[in-house]
Amino acid sequence: MRGRWWGLAVTAVVVFLLVYIGLNYLGGGNEPTISYTEFSRQVDAGNVDKIYSKGDAIQGRLKKARQDPEGGGEYTTFRTQRPAFADDELWKSLERQHVTVTARPVVQQRSLLSNVLISLAPIVLLVALWIFFARRLGGGTGGMGGGMLGRKTPPRPVGLRPGARRTTFADVAGIDEVKGELDDVVDFLEHPELYRRMGAKMPRGVLLAGSPGTGKTLLARAVAGEAGVPFFSASASEFIEMIVGVGASRVRELFAEARKVAPSIIFIDEIDTIGRARGGGASVSGHDEREQTLNQILTEMDGFTGSEGVIVIAATNRADILDPALTRPGRFDRVVSVSPPDRAGREAILGIHTREIPLAPDVDLARVARTTPGMTGADLANLANEAALLAVKRKQEQVTRADLSEALEKVQLGAERTLVMPEEDRRRTAFHESGHALLGMLQPGADPVRKVTIVPRGRALGVTMSTPEVERYALSEEYLRGRIIGALGGMAAEHVVYGVVTTGAENDLEQVTNIARGMVARWGMSERVGRLSALPSDAQQAYGLAAAPATLDAIDHEMRRIVDDCYDEACRKLRDHRGQLDDLALALLEHETLEEADAYRIAGVTRLTKTDEET
């Protein structure tokens, strides 16, 4: 902000200098001044054409240009000053040389109007520059009001283009429990008299909290579309400006416009931008722009002038850092958690995003949903779009199962790389991925292996895809140890086959470290550390600051013990099944990619279904 004001100050100085130079050197009335002696000499020589005198000041023009003896260069027009003590009979000399004495100045000066206009020019230019910078610094020309100098266009409800289809709950899938929470808001907006008859009050606000891409903004639009009420949309960052008080004025204007057309809905996206807990000392004066904006929102939602008939829906990815005054009853009465969809929800979401995509008969959306655990609605929309793009590139009329499978690999693993590896590195990569795959097949309760490939993707030289058969919400210690063993399978295979390890296990070790740390420090799966959360999840970034040194030493010791035990078990299993490991590696070297059925068949491992495991 300070830099921007310095820019304005420098611009003002430059404009002043330019105008000053123009007035003094480029305008009229800049004829040279000569000595009276030189003037008398030119009169005696008969070289003066005409003069004009006002008092002792003389202005004139020569017949022929002359060189100023005082080094002023050639001149034709001139000015001089007659000394008060001069007694040289100037009039007789002028009359004798037939010099014309005029009643008007020889060199015309600027008029009064011109002087006034030139004087106002710098002010006009500075005002124009000020308005330009004010608009640039005050944001775009969106619907929010209150710029740096004046008010912009008042906020208006988000309208629909003629013929456009509005968003409703039919466009939302996979989060039925969240739609149930919002159904009450829609019903209140449609039938407010029923609730008022029972003494029920309209909820002031609904906070949608969840991971990015779970559909929070889509839900807010669907609520407005279902209720058929005006919908005002704003991002929290639009309220923040360099001038303190602008954000608060925009909030007042937004709520004022929403009250005029009540009942209405205001949607504020990414509210954590301005809704962070106060008292952090961000501003020395205590009047930070963010705090003033937040205070104004708190007042508008539940203050002396509460916004009757206006429901505020806000979305955030960080509900844990919001100010307590914002989430108390009377402000955001409902905090709705929007989680990633389950398998049935993913299937429904895929159905919505493929409504306008022609699908081949071999496409099974239920199977795609089973292989995409943890993906959000935005991820699934991107998956469907990537599959459609692949079909267009291949000049197909429909999206096939292969398109969806390749799109999933591209989304999860990255695009294929045309990397030519030496044969020795290619063999090592084949054994590395075979180790991952074989341990995933042999470990009881492990996630099924879906695909094994040694085709470079993203930063990886090879990939083994394993996804759960069913949704997992509570992970057992046995399952987590199995994941560690599977992640160490690549390094263990290199150790068993070559007797050395390479840098290819870097990403595997990162996964192993995170799982082991969680088992010991967060989930109480270590007898030595005990049943406590020594390192909460938000403290992992500042590892070493949330526990005593002795506890940290115990955590490190237990993590090493778990990982070492799992690594020894991985090496032992691979030695015991060395023939199966070699078969998988040779098949990978030949085919480069093995699908689920082929991988299990080549390894000689029976693929257990969920029914078999339960039996």
| Catalytic residue positions, numbered | 433
Tell me how far apart the terminal alpha carbons of the chain are, to the nearest angstrom: 68
| DSSP-assigned states of every residue in 78-134 | EEEE--TT--S-HHHHHHHTT-EE-SS-SSPPPPHHHHHHHHHHHHHHHHHHHHHHH
Total residues found in the chain within this entry: 615
b/e burial code for range 48-74 (CB count within 10 A of at least 16 → b): bbebbeeeeebbbbbeeebeeeeeeee
Phi, psi of 337 (to 5 degrees): -85, 125
158 CB-near residues (< 8 Å, 6+ apart): 224, 231, 232, 233
174 sits in the region (left: phi over 0; alpha: psi -120 to 50; else beta) called left
Please name which of 345, 406, 337, 410 lies closest in space to residue 373, comparing C-alpha atoms. 345
Q: Are strands 264-269 and 48-54 parallel, antiparallel or unpaired?
A: unpaired
Compute the distance between CA of residue 409 and CA of residue 463 in angstroms, rounded to an integer: 10
Single-letter residue type at 150: G
Q: Give the CA distances from residue 237 to residues 206, 251, 525, 541, in Å, rounded to whole numbers and listed in that order.
A: 19, 12, 43, 26
Please name which of 282, 277, 290, 288 lies closest in space to residue 239, comparing C-alpha atoms. 290
Torsion 371-376-378-379 (CA) sign? negative
Compute the distance between CA of residue 237 and CA of residue 226 in angstroms, rounded to an integer: 27
SS3 466: strand
- At 222, list the tokens: 């669907």
- At 29, list the tokens: 């009335």
Q: Are the C-beta atoms of 84 and 57 separated by less than 8 Å?
A: no
364 CB-near residues (< 8 Å, 6+ apart): 401
Q: For residue 173, what is the enclosing H or E element?
A: none
Compute the distance between CA of residue 23 and CA of residue 42 in angstroms, rounded to an integer: 30
Q: Are the C-beta atoms of 174 and 342 separated by less than 8 Å?
A: yes
- At 183, list the tokens: 């159904």
Q: Are the C-beta atoms of 232 and 157 separated by less than 8 Å?
A: yes
133 CB-near residues (< 8 Å, 6+ apart): 4, 7, 8
SS3 51: strand
- At 321, list the tokens: 């850092």
Single-letter residue type at 401: R
- At 274, list the tokens: 């301005």
Please name which of 5, 99, 106 lies closest in space to residue 46, comparing C-alpha atoms. 99
Q: What is the dihedral of CA 587, 593, 598, 602, to 10 degrees?
A: 20
